[in-house]
Structure 1
């Protein structure tokens, strides 16, 4: 339990700095599951079931790894699914899909690429710790209106040889339109610590957005669509407003 508290503290501090981490307070009600919808996250008898938001802090790169894990009722586990149809889950890389089993307090995953990952699981009501990661139970949005507003998110990594950072913003309007922008920067250093190169890029987009179950789709003015798994990871306890959500490997914070 001490290990769980320490991990949670490290994750919270790092995520706050990157505008990308939050705890889900009193999650929204689940939508009914079907063949193309995952089960909402829960921890029963120490066993995870359904969709979870995972964070793991890497000291070497000063970065917070974020991922979606789906522990299916059939005993299969998927990492960062792009959708939940049979075809979409089967198309994931072999190292991102496998089977999981709980024996005592040890959770073991046998990945399709032949690798095995095993560690003790430390469960709580809506979270559990496993293999140095913190897993928060995920729930779908209660309604698309919870996304209306402006959000910003980002990821960063830093090593002795250089650093990289990316920031993106999204604004969702009640009339079904959205606008957004992104910026990224990269820099390298020599062994002596001197800066050797740097580069950056930026872009913007606008169009229409739709939210269906766990899937958020952005369609720009040219008709190009980007879809991904999206769900809230924090909301205001008093107002019920979603303050952070996760989408396409980025955790966004309401501005």
Structure 2
């Protein structure tokens, strides 16, 4: 493979060749020797290039095979918990998985795992979702999956990720077609699970209100997001920065 030579460098090389041609005109290689040398050099360069390309191809091939084997192990881990008839990991399979990972199936990290997979149906994991969530962390064993749960806690704590996780948690609980709201009892459990560790006082306050009030039977997405904004914007419990406009549905809480 020939490299492009900068014009100034080319002029310098030509000048050097011209000077050498005057100073060393008395010495010339026999034509046959020059052709032979050129031929050998070409063969050497060709051989070197072939070796380089061969090494690259071997590396790519080895990497591809390793990746394929790894994905095969990830798939095998999925099928060890999947229901044979449905081809999915169902609620029973998830409980078995949780038992093997030594975590409760109601642990928020299981919800985080569903978020990582972008699982669409509550209590079920498809093979595609499983691959989506576990390919990047390369989790092909239960022990590696346990480490993924620990890493997910850190990942979700990032502000941008937490908002996405918080939004996903609500949508994940919409189990019926065209469902847009969630009953109060489920919302109280979800608030405690998702927001409780971060805003314990506010969550306890809001849950207590939801349980005794009679105006609301369900909570929609706007209300769900409104409570998150309330936790982030309002000083609690003194409400010292109460000049910040509150979502209308939170008015009764105060």
TM-score, normalised to structure 1's length?
A: 0.25
More strand by share: 1
Q: Which has the higher contact order (CA 8 A, sep 6+)?
A: 1
TM-score, normalised to structure 2's length?
A: 0.26
Radius of gyration: which is bigger?
Answer: 2
